[in-house]
Every structure is written in C-alpha cells, then in structure tokens.
Chain A
Amino acid sequence: KAGVTQTPRYLIKTRGQQVTLSCSPISGHRSVSWYQQTPGQGLQFLFEYFSETQRNKGNFPGRFSGRQFSNSRSEMNVSTLELGDSALYLCASSLEGSFYGYTFGSGTRLTVV
C-alpha cells in the first residue's frame, strides 16, 4: 500500500514569505502529525490532527498552523518565514494514536534565504 506522501520534497523561500506543505497519509489513517527537524534541535513536535480537529499542539509560534481535510490529507502553513525556519518538515500518520505506531513520510526540505 502507498506510504505517507509529502509534497514538495524541496522548497526554497525568501524571508517574509509564506509556505504551505502538504501531507497525504496512508489510506485509512486518521491521525496526522507534523514535526520540524533541525540538526541542533532534533525532531520537534508541531501539531497533531485527528478527524479534522487539532488534538495536540507543540510549542511553536502562531506563524505555524495546520489543517486536516475530510479525506485526512493535511496541510501545514508557515507565515512570515524566518531564516531559522529552515528545516526538514516531517509528517507522520497513524490509525488512531501511538499504540498503532506512526509511519513517517520522507519530508519536505525547506530552505529560507
């Protein structure tokens, strides 16, 4: 079966711009989580959506937002980009929650210049 698909794979944006990243979960998975990964901080949790509702949120500023559609696909938006937002953004999907395990996508590499 198809895995978690993230688009685009690479993105270069300028400071102050906004960006939208997309994640298509494994068919049947209703939970989608987003993570930011940087060399210095490792993986950091952004937020989790379940059945179109944000169920958990990490400690990121309001410039980071997301949503989930009725087909479980999810988008993440970052407004007013800063140089420090350069990172690998990973999406993970699961059936219900942690017990069933997460499957990660390959990520979107965002570079802010």
Chain B
Amino acid sequence: KNQVEQSPQSLIILEGKNCTLQCNYTVSPFSNLRWYKQDTGRGPVSLTIMTFSENTKSNGRYTATLDADTKQSSLHITASQLSDSASYICVVSEDFGNEKLTFGTGTRLTIIP
C-alpha cells in the first residue's frame, strides 16, 4: 500500500530559527513530490514540486530536497517568521497524466515570538 509518512507531527520553534521537516514515502512508481503549506481554514498552497531527476528546489526561504533512492524528502525553512505557522503537507504522485496522489498527514509548525 502506498504511504507517505511525515515527521514530526508537530513542531514549535522560536521566530528566526531554522527547521527541517521530513517526508518518507513508499509510493511506486514515483512521478513527483510536492510540498504544500496550509494555513488554518484555507486550502493548501504549493511550495515546491520535484520530479525524479531533481534533488533540490528552493522557493524563497523554503528549500526542499529529494532522495529518490531512499524515498525521502525534507523541507528546510530558514529564518522562520510568524507567518510560517501552518501545516506542511507532503504529497507524492504515482504517475503522469492519469495520476493518483498520496498525502501525508502533515506537520503542524508553530512559530513563537
């Protein structure tokens, strides 16, 4: 069964600090992996999308890495801000076109001043 596991479930850090969120998956065949940010009561917003051949992608203070061999991804947030408080969801796609997505349950990140 395809699964996406994220850790930690929740994380609290001080404003200005860095943090790293983890995502391990068993989805096969792999097409792409995305990280989404979801503010409370809102829909998820895409941060990065990586295909098999990409091992790092940045979006401002967010940097995602992908190791397709070990089926692991991480999302690193640099110099955290209060607005980074949100849930971060890892999503893995099985196939191009007629695809099926498998979602992680997310990491709830809280930034405190």
A45 touching B104 in the complex, CB below 8 Å, given contacts A90-B44, A104-B43, A106-B42: no
The answer to whether B103 touches A56, judged by C-beta atoms less than 8 angstroms apart, is no
User: Do A97 and B98 touch (CB < 8 A)?
Assistant: yes
A42 contacts B89, CB within 8 Å? yes
How many chain A residues have a CB neighbour from B under 8 Å? 25
- Which residues of A are found within 8 Å of B43, using beta-carbon distances? 4, 90, 92, 104-107
Whether A42 lies near B45 (C-beta < 8 A) is no
Q: How many A-B residue pairs have CB under 8 A?
A: 59
Closest-CB distance, A19 to chain B (whole angstroms): 19
- Number of B residues whose C-beta is below 8 Å from A? 26
Cβ-based interface call for A70 (8 A) = no
Knowing A102-B46, A104-B44, A107-B43 are in contact, say whether A43-B89 is a contact too (CB < 8 A).
yes
Within 8 A of A (CB), among B76-97: 89, 91, 93, 95-97
Q: How far is A56 from B102 in the complex, measured between Cα atoms in Å?
A: 13
